[in-house]
Each structure stands twice: as C-alpha cells, then as structure tokens.
Amino acid sequence: MDFKDAILLLHPVIVVTIVFPLMGLIANRGLRVRQRRLQLASGYKSKVSPVVGQEHVQTGHWLTGAVVGATLIALANDIFGKVIGEQLWNTNSFQVGFIVLLFGATIASVALLYQAQQIKWKATFAILAGMGLVILGCQDGVYRKTDQWYTSHYYYGIAASLLMIFSLSILKSIYQDRTQRWRTVHIVVGSAVALLFLGQAITGTRALLEVPLSWQESYIQKLYELQCDAKPCTVQSAPRTP
Ligand code: HEM
Ligand code: HEM
C-alpha cells in the first residue's frame, strides 16, 4: 500500500471510528431527551438526567464537524487526485487557485457557523458552507454517479452533510420556539440523517471495493478498455480512480 492508498483510507477510517460511534451516541441521547420531555409534560417525575440535553447538543457539535470534515477529505482526495494526475497547475492555474480558495472558504464558513449567535449570521454561514460543499462536489474528479443518483455515495454524503449544517444552524430555534415546530423539523431532519448514514455505510463499503489500489489501477484500466472495445461502455463501468 503506497501513500496514495493510505490517503484514500483516511475518509473511511474517520467515518468508521468517529462519525458512526457519535451517531449512535447522538441518537441515544436524542431519544432520552424526548423521553424526559414527554414524561415531564405528562406530569411524571423523569428518571432521565437533565444533562442529556447538553450531552446531545455537545455530541451534535462534534458530529457536524466530523461529517463535514470527512466529506471535505473525500472531496479533496478526489479533486486533488485529478489536479495532481493531470498537473493542472501548468495548464489551468486559475482553476487550482479557485479550488484551494473554495476549500478555505468552506472550512472558514463552518468555523464561523459554530461561533455565530444571531440567526441572520447562522443562516449566512450555513448557506455559505453548504454552497462551498456543493460547488466543490461539482468539480472534476468527484465520482458522482449522477445517472444512478439513488444509490450514489456522493449524493447521499452531500445531503447528509447539508442536513448536519442545517441542524447546527437551527439549534437555538429548537429551544426558543414554543410551538415546538422547530423541534419537529429537527426530529424529521435527524431521522433523515440516520437513514442517509445507513445508505453511506452500504454505498461507502461498495466504494472501497470499486477504487483500485495504486498497483491495480493500470490492470483495471486495460480491462476496461478491452471491455469497451467489445461493447459500448457506461459511466458506471468506468474504473473509479482516487
Ligand atoms: C443527526 C442526528 C440527530 C438526531 C437523530 C437527533 C434527534 C433528536 C431528538 C429525538 C431530540 C428530542 C426531540 C424531542 O424532545 O422530542 C433532539 C433534540 C435536540 N437536538 Fe437533536 N438530533 C440529531 C442531531 C442534532 C444536532 C447536530 C444538533 C445541534 C448541534 C441537535 C440539537 C438538538 C437540540 C438543541 C435538541 C433539544 C434538546 C433539549 O430539549 O434539551 N441535534 N434531537
Ligand atoms: C457519514 C458517512 C459518510 C459520508 C458523509 C461520506 C461522504 C463521501 C463523499 C461526499 C465522497 C466523495 C464522492 C465520492 O467519491 O463518492 C466519499 C467518497 C468515498 N467514501 Fe464516503 N462517506 C461516508 C461514509 C463512508 C463509509 C462508511 C465508507 C467505507 C467504509 C466510505 C468510503 C468512501 C470511499 C472509498 C470513497 C472514495 C474515495 C475518496 O473519494 O476518498 N464512506 N464519501
């Protein structure tokens, strides 16, 4: 395994060791927050500790950072793999500069979203961070599988990251809204994220099987060319190179 392969593994390793355990923790704490709230509302004394709310929110902060970070690492691996492979800075240095700037701006927007207190700034930085992810995802080298979007690791991943950013930005509204509408929105979004993570576990494991190790790349490319000589090729049958 050479350096390129090790970099490729960075994203799955972070997801498996940090993101998924945090997701388990956050779902558990979220259910306990709900249990406590419903018990108190119906006049019972709850045995659930009042600190579960704080623990849930704290875990939410970590999870959002971990998901967005893991997504940025995967996108960087795809995009810079292409930039380095084609030595793009010789032919299109503007595009390379733009990509670097975009990564910086996206990371800065997420950092500022954590700091923002007023709704207008939360909305601004959430939109900027989301736009950054979407524009980065549109760059060459990212394996999007658009014609199979319903099983695409990319689309599920970007959707999960955007929903996490959204969850972070509505944090205060959940507490302030007396009608509990934002709480309901939050539960729907949280459940969608949980389902998307399940999808990511499946499509991510498939992605690991699809990306050839460096030493396998030339053989896979040859096989692909042979196969395309025999019958027309589709985007899906193209080798997925990191
Ligand atoms: C992504 C997975 C998540 C799931 C499945 C989830 C689930 C839940 C659930 C079930 C509740 C209880 C709702 C109720 O009282 O009926 C809750 C409350 C809450 N969640 Fe989440 N949540 C997630 C992520 C987040 C994130 C990322 C944040 C923000 C950092 C967050 C902030 C909150 C807040 C502020 C509350 C109210 C806590 C309280 O009343 O003390 N959640 N969540
Ligand atoms: C929260 C969960 C996850 C998110 C948000 C996420 C997001 C992403 C995104 C946006 C990409 C770039 C697009 C692409 O190349 O398809 C990607 C690539 C990839 N993911 Fe994930 N992923 C998650 C979980 C996983 C898991 C569980 C695995 C494997 C066990 C995995 C393995 C990979 C691999 C091998 C790639 C391609 C190589 C790379 O671009 O670095 N992912 N992921």
For ligand 1, the distance from its centroid to the CA atom of residue 62, given in whole angstroms, is 13
Q: Of all atoms in ligand 2, which is nearest to the CA of residue 201?
A: 27
Q: Starting from the CA of residue 209, give the closest ligand.
A: 2
For ligand 2, the distance from its centroid to the CA atom of residue 3, given in whole angstroms, is 18
Q: Are residues 168 and 88 in the same domain?
A: yes
Q: Are residues 204 and 238 in the same domain?
A: no
Q: Are residues 197 and 234 in the same domain?
A: no
Nearest residue CA, atom 18 of ligand 2?
A: 74
Percentage of the chain exceeding pLDDT 90: 81
Q: Are residues 101 and 16 in the same domain?
A: yes
Q: Are residues 114 and 153 in the same domain?
A: yes
Domain span at residue 166 reads 3-211
Place of tokens 């810079």: 80
CA angle 25, 178, 23 (to 5 degrees): 10
Q: Are residues 71 and 19 in the same domain?
A: yes
pLDDT surpassing 60 at residue 242: no
CB 71 within 8 A of CB 158: yes
The pLDDT tens digits of the residues spanning 70-120 come to 999 999 999 999 999 899 999 999 999 999 999 999 999 999 999 999 999
Q: Are residues 225 and 169 in the same domain?
A: no
Nearest residue CA, atom 40 of ligand 1?
A: 53
Q: Are residues 65 and 43 in the same domain?
A: yes
For ligand 2, the distance from its centroid to the CA atom of residue 77, given in whole angstroms, is 10
**Residues lining ligand 1, Cβ inside 6 A:** 26-27, 30-31, 33-34, 37, 53, 56-57, 60-61, 63-64, 164, 167-168, 171, 174, 183, 186-187, 190, 193-194
Q: Are residues 113 and 66 in the same domain?
A: yes
pLDDT band at 226 (very low <50, low <70, confident <90, very high): confident
SS3 per-residue string spanning 92-147: CHHHHHHHHHHHHHHHHHHHHHHHCCCHHHHHHHHHHHHHHHHHHHCCCCCCCCHH
For ligand 2, the distance from its centroid to the CA atom of residue 108, given in whole angstroms, is 22
Q: Are residues 137 and 160 in the same domain?
A: yes
Q: Are residues 152 and 200 in the same domain?
A: yes
The pLDDT tens digits of the residues spanning 158-168 come to 999 999 999 99
Q: How many domains does the chain have?
A: 2
The pLDDT tens digits of the residues spanning 37-76 come to 999 999 999 999 999 999 999 999 999 999 999 999 999 9
Q: What's residue 241's pLDDT?
A: 63
Q: Are residues 182 and 240 in the same domain?
A: no
